[in-house]
Chains A and B, each alone.
Chain A
Amino acid sequence: MKWLLLIILLVPCLAGAEEARPLTDNPQAEARLKHLAVELRCLVCQNQTLADSNAPLAEDLRREVREMIAKDMSDKDIIEFLVTRYGDFILYRPPLKATTTLLWLGPFVLLIAGVAALVLALRRRQKKLVDLSLSEDERKRVAQLLSEGANRL
């Protein structure tokens, strides 16, 4: 009975116990593909990289990139191939262009504006502080109050 149970339990292991097929036989090409694919966006599921996505288009594009690697094309040429077809959107790091200046410089503009606002606010506040001069009696009273407070602790 125990044996039968064991055999039944082992049956599922026979199915699909195959390792995922490597994308190419060449580990160097595979490393290049990985390196490139994390920089490229899958156009179907737009927040995934080409490396992560299982969309059919991503598979096709990986195949395309793999073939270009096999043809010994440079990274620059491969990326250009994709950009001429799909536009800059395929890049996770958009290039600095006239249309993307706001994207690239916007955060720095906001940072500078924030710092300027802070400096202005601090200066304005400093002006509001009025130097109050205390009389001798008041000084004594302050000292007395402070020492009383200290004793209470």
Chain B
Amino acid sequence: MNRFLLPLAAFLVVVGFLAVGLTLNPRELPSPLVGKPAPAFSLPQLHDQAKVFSPNEMTGKVWLLNFWASWCGGCKEEHPVLLHLAKSGEVPIYGVDYKDTRDEALAWLRQHGNPYPLTAVDEAGRVGINYGVYGVPETYVIDKTGVIRYKQIGPLREDTLQAKILPLVRELQNQ
């Protein structure tokens, strides 16, 4: 009896580790930028090249920064969620058009709808690197003082929005 107990215990430990491992998503890396000030940038706007957008214009507001591109499949997937959120008016979503061409991005927004009050253009992907973007779509929750509070990697889903992002946004808005 005793001689089976030890292998059984070892087996259960391994099963425990593997079970936890199965629930983790290796694509989702914790961002070291959460809790740090959002990197500054100044990028031309998508709809009006002559104007620029910079995150410090948003000081005093809680807002979302969404990296997207017309070539990105996941962006199409999350788009209805963004449109719905934009309509509700709970929190403004600003876009960064990441490594894209202006014409295609504009056409994409015309076709699928535009949830963004404003989209900035990061053609070379440098701002993306400063934000640690490694796979669009990525969405950042930024608080009134310009600190990143949350990072969503991959398409935003309605359930994550309701369970995590909106409660966080409301909490930050009340601060």
Contact = CB atoms under 8 A, between A and B. Distances in A.
Interface residues of A, number: 14
Interface stretch (B89-97, B104-112, B125-133): B125-133
B99 interface: yes
A46 B130 CA distance: 19
A84 B30 CA distance: 12
Contact of A87 (B29, B124, B131, B135): B29
B32 A83 contact: yes
A64 interface: yes
A104 to B, nearest CB: 17
* Chain A contact surface mostly: helix
Interface stretch (A5-13, A16-24, A29-37, A54-62): A54-62
Nearest to A86: B132
B129 A87 contact: no
A41 to B, nearest CB: 10
B16 interface: no
A85 B130 contact: yes
A57 B125 contact: yes
Contacts of B124: 60
Nearest to A47: B26
Which of B32, B128, B133 has the largest number of chain A CB atoms within 10 A?
B32
B86 interface: no
Nearest to B30: A87
Nearest to A88: B32
Given A44-B134, A57-B125, A61-B129, A86 B32 contact: yes
Contacts of B59: none
Interface of A: 43-44, 46, 56-57, 60-61, 64, 83-87, 89
